[in-house]
């Protein structure tokens, strides 16, 4: 039997506790014959959507604050690979600050852009069909994250890049890049300025970080101990396999 472990994350407890109380009441009031009250798939899907909304909001909040990217090694945006020789050369001649400043401004741009993704991801949850929801509930550990990737990537990329373009300007990314290349000396010959779209690079890395955090939150929701210590939840969610 597949145990559905979409438990209530801390930020979602207030709203979903009422939902879980309703579930408990429906089970407590079982007919004397022993047949279980039927909890509809639609009701369970609604609970899933509430949990996913909270997961999205928490992920975006984590990344969209100061040092959300820069201070988290798991999502920190590194120097683009094409600038690897430039970075290495700068650090060898004691110009670490120049390289670090460019990396810092890229991460600041991502931190400014990510908060604008909330509405797109929440809309993806609203558009979720019953089939989608049940597939997530019974799917792989990262089924919700894969759903977001499949349905939201084009919209996210379209929405984020203009914000990144604005953020790169306000965060000083372009200026930092020019200063870094100016300090690179002969190493600059290894860089083709036409081959590097910094805005696209930051956009892609920002999306990678966002999906990674959503996956972490999804895992936490699925493994929340609250779901495993309640007989009511095991009984009700277990009824999915008997419908």
Whole-number Å distance between alpha carbons of 103 and 77: 7
Query: Tens digit of pLDDT for each residue in 30-69?
Result: 444 443 345 577 777 777 787 788 889 999 999 999 999 9
Whether 100 contacts 151, CB under 8 Å: no
| Distances, alpha carbon 139 to alpha carbons 3, 196, 220, in Å | 11, 38, 15
Q: How far is CA 204 from CA 58, 96, 238, in A?
A: 20, 25, 39
Q: Rounded to two decimals, what is the model's pTM?
A: 0.71
DSSP states of 142-158: THHHHHHHHHHHHHHHH
List, for residues 135-159, the tens digit of each pLDDT value.
887 888 889 899 999 999 988 888 8
């Amino acid at each position: 039997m597949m145990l559905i472990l979409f438990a209530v994350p801390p930020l979602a407890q207030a709203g979903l506790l009422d939902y879980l109380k309703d579930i408990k009441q429906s089970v407590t009031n079982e007919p004397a014959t022993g047949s279980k009250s039927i909890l509809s798939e639609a009701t369970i899907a609604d609970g899933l959507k509430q949990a996913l909304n909270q997961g999205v909001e928490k992920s975006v909040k984590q990344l969209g604050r100061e040092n959300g990217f820069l201070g988290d090694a798991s999502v920190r945006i590194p120097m683009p690979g094409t600038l690897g020789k430039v970075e290495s050369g700068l650090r060898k001649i004691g110009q670490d600050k120049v390289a670090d400043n460019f990396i810092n401004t890229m991460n600041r741009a991502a931190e400014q852009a990510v908060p604008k993704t909330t509405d797109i991801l929440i809309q993806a949850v609203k558009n979720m069909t019953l089939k989608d929801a049940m597939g997530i509930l019974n799917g792989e550990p990262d089924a919700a994250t894969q759903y977001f990737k499949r349905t939201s990537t084009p919209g996210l990329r379209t929405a984020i890049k203009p914000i990144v373009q604005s953020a790169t300007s306000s965060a000083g990314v372009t200026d930092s890049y020019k200063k870094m290349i100016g300090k690179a000396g002969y190493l600059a010959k290894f860089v083709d300025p036409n081959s590097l779209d910094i805005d696209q690079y930051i956009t892609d890395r920002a999306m990678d970080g966002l999906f990674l955090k959503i996956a972490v939150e999804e895992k936490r929701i699925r493994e929340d101990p609250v779901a495993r210590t309640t007989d009511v939840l095991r009984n009700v969610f277990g009824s999915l396999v008997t419908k």
